[in-house]
Amino acid sequence: MMLAAMFGVDRDALICDLAETYHIYDYRAFPPHYIAILAVGLRDDSRIKMKISEQRLTLDQVLLASIYDKIAQLVWLNSRDGSKGWNRPKSVLLELTKEPKESEYKSMSPEEFEQIREQKLRRNKHG
């Protein structure tokens, strides 16, 4: 059941995690229950588990950004700007955790890419 849920969330992420962690490049060559056991055993910071838990950052990344922010603030407080309250350093953690802007680039499947490529090639050939 968990394997089906993982495939439903992001099949590509699970395939990448299986390849990276267990060097399994064709999961269909193994029994489904075996792949399910391996999938559940993936690290908490694996692509699929991060996606399931709706996390964009690992705990290590959050802690490191927090440490950086605190050190930057301490350095700033001991500077001339800090004593006057000017030019406060921006928080790296806030930048990393804010919602990403809508990208101008659209992701697409390989089939969609080939269709668009063929259309552009035909236009360039005839135009």
DSSP string for 24-61: -S-GGGS-HHHHHHHHHTS-TTSHHHHHHTT-SS-HHH
Task: Please check the confidence at residue 122 and state whether its pLDDT lies above 70.
Answer: yes
CA distance 82 to 41: 47
pLDDT in the model for residue 105: 65
Place of tokens 């440490």: 67
- What confidence tens digit (pLDDT) does each residue in 97-112 have? 988 777 666 778 888 8
Q: What is the pTM of this model?
A: 0.65
Closest CA to 77 of 62, 67, 87: 87
Domain ranges of the chain: 2-52, 59-97
Tokens representing 52 are 């399931």
Place of tokens 């694996």: 46
Instruction: Tell me the percentage of the chain whose pLDDT exceeds 90.
Output: 71
- What confidence tens digit (pLDDT) does each residue in 18-50 have? 999 999 999 999 999 999 999 999 999 999 999
Q: Quote the mean pLDDT of the chain.
A: 91
CA distance 17 to 19: 5
